[in-house]
Chains A and B, each alone.
Chain A
Amino acid sequence: MAEKKGSILAVQLLGALCMMVLWWLSGSSILDGEPQDTVWRFFGRFHPVVLHLPIGMFFMLLVLEIVDLRRPESEASELIPLVLGITIGVTLLAVATGTMLAYGEGANEPLVQDHMRNGVWLAMGMVMLGVLRTLPSRGTYYLVLIATGALMFLTSHQGGSITHGRDFLTEYAPEPLRRLLGLEVEEEVQAIRVEDLVVFDHLVQPIMEQNCVSCHNPDKLKGELNLETFAGHLAGGELGPAVVPFDVDASELLFRVTLPDDDEEFMPPDEKPPLTDDEIGLLAWWIEQGASVDQTVGALGPIPTQVDDYVMTVFEQMITPEERERLVEAQRELYATLAAIRAEHGILIQPIEAGADEFTIETHAVRKAFDDAMLHRLEPYARSFVAADLSGTRLTDDGVSSLSKFVRLQTLNLSRTELVGSTLGQLSVLPDLGSLNLYGATLDTAAVDQLVQLTQLKQLFLSQTPLEDAETLERLRQALPDCDVQATAEINPLTEADKSASSYESS
């Protein structure tokens, strides 16, 4: 009996000691985030091997306790101290290896910190169980047992999240279950598009951070210039604004980076690598287009080829291989679809340049068969087209409603068609439509009422239409002040003397 009392006391003392170590560990900030190439890292990597033991042992302990409750003093009861002891031991081992792992690998993100703290508390709970089991009353023991079980559940889940990612378990959960759990229901993922890059955030600022911000930041403030923020660009420094929207020549920033590199004023100074031509081209383009803070690549004006190449390079570096693969796949599908349409209908569909997702339509080979119905069939892909040459086709006024779905259209050739023109106003919804060719179309004079609605136009060809009288032209030019309205009589008019010359008669 005395022997048993002595071992109970030993357990309690050992437990108290463990508690003190663990208490210290739970309060210390041992994780510094620096990877260590020491033996700790070697031992630490056994954490994933060890950690499953406490889970299994604890489960066994629970089973034995339940059996013990039903049939006290059975064989199961005798096993409990042994199982509990092993559980405490492997838990301590898991905490030790886990601490070494996090310390050795230099992990200290919040999730790791939480996991470690919970692990330590879990070990404390285990040790406490060991001590409580020696007491005559079991009430507290059962309470702590349940609490420890819950803590183990949480801690193991956190550990799993660190290894496999937070949504590992729920990633493939059926949709109703996800809704029940209040998880995000997966929507159709829109591919990231290069047009959606914000010019300042994604293109301009990285150049600044790479080359300028080490001196021009709020702390150093060289030349009283802060290039860390957009406001800093506009506010500028000692010599005035660094960037003047729409005015490349007045923008000090561009002036300084384009000086000869041996100039005193050249930026970046000293031996730092100068900005590349591509980077300068991008900055110039951004300033020319108004140096906006939030506009996207797609929203800004026409991109020069050089800038376009640069944007593409940056974009390709930004996306993950998976996204890249997805983009390539999406594009391949689009190409295949359009190629099928082309093969079926004989319409010439071509990308505007290699790899583009903007296309042109030409209908020369099938113009006599091309009618409203055929155009209607292209509607699902209408967004892909930026130019359409439908000259001489059988398109009618009814077909114009289909055309109004081609929202990216920039150039539209309806010359020599039999349009009356009663529906042309529907094209006013095409924001980018710059050029409309109606040469020789059989328009009605009333078409002018439709055309005056197309205020977005830059070029309108009206030669050989009934709209060529001075009054109509004047009305159109009033209504469309930004548009070059072209009419036959005004294009390189001939003198009477010119009209008769023939070399065959004179020779």
Chain B
Amino acid sequence: MDPIEHYVNLETRRKFLGKLAMGFGSAAMSSLLPGSASAATSLNPPGQGLSNGMLGATHFAPKAKRGIYLFMSGAPSQLDMFDYKPRMTDLFDTDLPESIRNGQRLTTMTSGQSRFPIAPSIYDFQQYGKSGAWVSELLPNTASIVDDIAIIKSMWTEAINHDPAITYIQTGNQIPGRPSLGAWLSYGLGSLNANLPTFVVLNSTWTGRQEAQALFTRLWGAGPLPSQHQGVALRSDGDPVLYLSNPHGVSGDIRRLMLDGVSEMNEDIFHEFGDPETHARISQYEMAFRMQSSVPELTDLSDEPEYIFDLYGPDSRVSGTFAYNCLMARRMAEKGVRFSQIFHRGWDQHGALPKDLPNQCRDVDRACYGLITDLKQRGMYDDTLVVWGGEFGRTVYCQGELTQTNYGRDHHPRCYTMWMGGAGVKGGVVYGETDEFSYNITKDPVHIRDLNATILNQFGVDHQQLNFQHQGLDLKLTGVEEAHIVKGVLA
């Protein structure tokens, strides 16, 4: 159904009151809708049945049709992976100058420490590719694709603890309850393939320290947007979606009959109460029905040839690993899933970083390489956006005891590294600079809001114009503060 018509037909309380107060009909109502304004006289009529999303069409021609977001939950250490700070070696175990920390707030985990000794990275860095980007020895495969990605070393956020920070980058607000990036994309752009969910979430196993930050479904939630836009989390064991298969003895026809009946009853309920969530429920039943055939095919990797597993590395044969999920994400992108997000946990190296970080890096390094190479050879890298990163960075000073071979790092929101590639992102770019302690940004800061605005931009969406009225606010992914497109990483 055309979403605009759909919206018009919703018997919401506001519409009811509007009719009562002003006596205007659906024609007047429709002119208030986003995208349909002055459709009669404009040379830019909205999608008119040519769109699934609430935007009639993208605001401008998109570079990205699909996106794959590799989320490193727990905050990877930029100092040991991308942000090369050779001078720190000489400053081993000296105190971080107060002029650098500058009274910045700390987490309660290190605010009680009597001193903040500098912990240089113990890993070797080298320059790679034509761009000469520095990458540590922990990421040998990522190093080979630096010319395909843009590394942003000047990411920053205000949040200093995991949950507010991950909520912030995922939804644009530290307070839970806002729609996530994927939900916004689903809401605004709609589906590329009606048989598959538009926004899929894949949770991965990890090999670093197993006590890791929890993830919550609200991180891929729809907030006040209609519920069908929330991310569908696929499981890696057994049925990818629980209770998706028909129970024993129930045939597809019987299931269809049942759904038709339920749908009819739901329509009656809708006419009685006019709650749009009733329609969300109906459409989810329908989606589940379509997914009964489309999802098993999607998640069955048996048709992938050997060379593909070679590309993503041996882990890709083990279900639930990050590499397996990357391969899955590529399959989904190819079949028309608009946006998928892979979560990889365990990056919170407060202590014993040299023990855990190499494992974490090994989990993702080869798979990132495999994913991008696979997208490239399929000709999909031109219109698939790939984003890699976590919720904040880690401190240059040591948390806990510092030795020559062991150290830990606390949370650090003032600068950290992410990378993105494909879909109009310029390869071989290293954007932004930090000071020699990787503590403060010295050039081209990129707030997580800027990153989100840039992601929307690549999908052809003006972040200012994708909004949703809720409780008197025009909700936007980028919130009310200014956000800038990071033009320096775009081709």
Binding site for B on A (CB under 8 A): 305, 312, 316, 324-325, 327-328, 331-332, 335-336, 338-340, 342-343, 346, 348-356, 359, 362, 364-365, 391-392, 413, 415, 435, 437, 439-440, 459, 461, 463-464, 486, 488, 491-492, 494, 498-507
Judging by beta carbons under 8 Å apart, are B377 and A439 in contact? Answer: yes
Q: List 25 A-B contacts (CB under 8 A).
A: A324-B41, A328-B45, A331-B43, A332-B45, A350-B47, A351-B57, A353-B57, A353-B62, A354-B56, A356-B61, A362-B192, A364-B335, A364-B336, A415-B378, A435-B379, A440-B378, A486-B376, A494-B144, A494-B369, A498-B141, A498-B366, A499-B310, A501-B366, A503-B362, A504-B321
Please name 15 further chain A to chain B contacts, defined as beta carbons within 8 Å, in addition to the given A316-B43, A332-B48, sorted by A numbering: A324-B43, A325-B41, A335-B47, A338-B50, A348-B193, A350-B47, A352-B57, A355-B45, A391-B334, A461-B377, A464-B377, A491-B376, A498-B144, A502-B314, A504-B321
Check B145 for interface membership: any CB of A closer than 8 A: yes
Judging by beta carbons under 8 Å apart, are B194 and A365 in contact? Answer: yes
The interface residues of chain B lying within 8 Å CB-to-CB of A351 are: 47, 50, 57
**B286-309 vs A: 1/0 string, CB under 8 Å?**
000000000000000000000100
The interface residues of chain B lying within 8 Å CB-to-CB of A316 are: 43
A506 to chain B, nearest CB (A): 7
Judging by beta carbons under 8 Å apart, are B379 and A437 in contact? Answer: yes
B51 to chain A, nearest CB (A): 7
Given contacts A350-B57, A507-B359, contact A335 B50 (CB under 8 A): yes
The interface residues of chain A lying within 8 Å CB-to-CB of B120 are: none
Judging by beta carbons under 8 Å apart, are B49 and A328 in contact? Answer: no
Count A-B contacts at CB 8 Å: 157
Judging by beta carbons under 8 Å apart, are B377 and A364 in contact? Answer: no
**Closest partner residue, chain A, to B147 (CB atom):** A492
The interface residues of chain B lying within 8 Å CB-to-CB of A461 are: 377-379
B159 to chain A, nearest CB (A): 29
Q: Bound complex: CA of A328 vs CA of B40, how far in Å?
A: 8
User: Which residues of B (145-190) have their CB < 8 Å from a CB of A?
Assistant: 145, 148
Judging by beta carbons under 8 Å apart, are B58 and A328 in contact? Answer: no
A463 to chain B, nearest CB (A): 4
Q: Bound complex: CA of A385 vs CA of B382, how far in Å?
A: 19
User: Which residues of B (24-57) have their CB < 8 Å from a CB of A?
Assistant: 35, 40-51, 55-57
B338 to chain A, nearest CB (A): 10
Check B273 for interface membership: any CB of A closer than 8 A: no
Given contacts A335-B49, A353-B60, A435-B379, contact A506 B362 (CB under 8 A): yes
The interface residues of chain B lying within 8 Å CB-to-CB of A353 are: 57-62, 460
The interface residues of chain A lying within 8 Å CB-to-CB of B42 are: 328, 355
Judging by beta carbons under 8 Å apart, are A335 and B48 in contact? Answer: yes
Among A336, A350, A488: residue with most chain B CB under 10 A: A350
The interface residues of chain A lying within 8 Å CB-to-CB of B321 are: 504
The interface residues of chain A lying within 8 Å CB-to-CB of B59 are: 353-354
**Closest partner residue, chain B, to A487 (CB atom):** B377
The interface residues of chain A lying within 8 Å CB-to-CB of B56 are: 354
The interface residues of chain B lying within 8 Å CB-to-CB of A439 are: 377-379
The interface residues of chain B lying within 8 Å CB-to-CB of A500 are: 314
Q: Bound complex: CA of A435 vs CA of B144, how far in Å?
A: 25
Given contacts A365-B336, A499-B310, A503-B359, contact A335 B45 (CB under 8 A): yes
Judging by beta carbons under 8 Å apart, are A503 and B377 in contact? Answer: no
Judging by beta carbons under 8 Å apart, are B378 and A507 in contact? Answer: no
The interface residues of chain B lying within 8 Å CB-to-CB of A348 are: 192-193, 336
Check B373 for interface membership: any CB of A closer than 8 A: yes
Judging by beta carbons under 8 Å apart, are A486 and B379 in contact? Answer: yes
**Closest partner residue, chain A, to B310 (CB atom):** A499
Check B140 for interface membership: any CB of A closer than 8 A: yes
B287 to chain A, nearest CB (A): 12
Check B313 for interface membership: any CB of A closer than 8 A: yes
Given contacts A498-B366, A501-B313, contact A492 B376 (CB under 8 A): yes
Q: Bound complex: CA of A57 vs CA of B148, how far in Å?
A: 90
The interface residues of chain A lying within 8 Å CB-to-CB of B376 are: 486, 491-492
Judging by beta carbons under 8 Å apart, are B192 and A364 in contact? Answer: yes
A347 to chain B, nearest CB (A): 11
Check B372 for interface membership: any CB of A closer than 8 A: yes
Check B266 for interface membership: any CB of A closer than 8 A: no
Q: Bound complex: CA of A439 vs CA of B43, how far in Å?
A: 38
Q: Bound complex: CA of A353 vs CA of B313, how far in Å?
A: 39
User: Which residues of B (330-374) have their CB < 8 Å from a CB of A?
Assistant: 334-336, 359, 362-363, 365-366, 369, 372-373
Check B195 for interface membership: any CB of A closer than 8 A: yes
Check B110 for interface membership: any CB of A closer than 8 A: no
Judging by beta carbons under 8 Å apart, are B195 and A365 in contact? Answer: yes
Among B49, B55, B141: residue with most chain A CB under 10 A: B49
Judging by beta carbons under 8 Å apart, are B366 and A413 in contact? Answer: no
Judging by beta carbons under 8 Å apart, are B362 and A492 in contact? Answer: no
Among B140, B314, B378: residue with most chain A CB under 10 A: B378
Among B46, B193, B379: residue with most chain A CB under 10 A: B379
Q: Bound complex: CA of A88 vs CA of B207, how far in Å?
A: 112
Judging by beta carbons under 8 Å apart, are B61 and A352 in contact? Answer: yes
Given contacts A365-B193, A413-B379, contact A498 B140 (CB under 8 A): yes
The interface residues of chain B lying within 8 Å CB-to-CB of A352 are: 57-58, 61-62
The interface residues of chain B lying within 8 Å CB-to-CB of A331 are: 43, 45
The interface residues of chain A lying within 8 Å CB-to-CB of B2 are: 339
Check B391 for interface membership: any CB of A closer than 8 A: no
Check B318 for interface membership: any CB of A closer than 8 A: yes
**Closest partner residue, chain A, to B144 (CB atom):** A492
Judging by beta carbons under 8 Å apart, are B50 and A492 in contact? Answer: no
Q: Bound complex: CA of A357 vs CA of B369, how far in Å?
A: 38
Q: Bound complex: CA of A291 vs CA of B141, how far in Å?
A: 46
Q: Bound complex: CA of A288 vs CA of B472, how far in Å?
A: 47
The interface residues of chain B lying within 8 Å CB-to-CB of A359 are: 50
Judging by beta carbons under 8 Å apart, are B379 and A501 in contact? Answer: no
The interface residues of chain B lying within 8 Å CB-to-CB of A332 are: 45, 48
Check B410 for interface membership: any CB of A closer than 8 A: no
The interface residues of chain B lying within 8 Å CB-to-CB of A335 are: 45, 47-50
3 closest A-B pairs by CB:
A355-B44, A339-B49, A364-B336
Q: Bound complex: CA of A316 vs CA of B41, how far in Å?
A: 11
Check B83 for interface membership: any CB of A closer than 8 A: no
Judging by beta carbons under 8 Å apart, are B194 and A346 in contact? Answer: yes
Check B80 for interface membership: any CB of A closer than 8 A: no
Check B450 for interface membership: any CB of A closer than 8 A: no
Judging by beta carbons under 8 Å apart, are B314 and A305 in contact? Answer: no
Q: Bound complex: CA of A356 vs CA of B377, how far in Å?
A: 30
Judging by beta carbons under 8 Å apart, are A504 and B207 in contact? Answer: yes
Given contacts A435-B379, A502-B315, A504-B315, contact A492 B43 (CB under 8 A): no
Which one of B43, B47, B49 lies within 8 Å of A312 (CB-CB)? B43
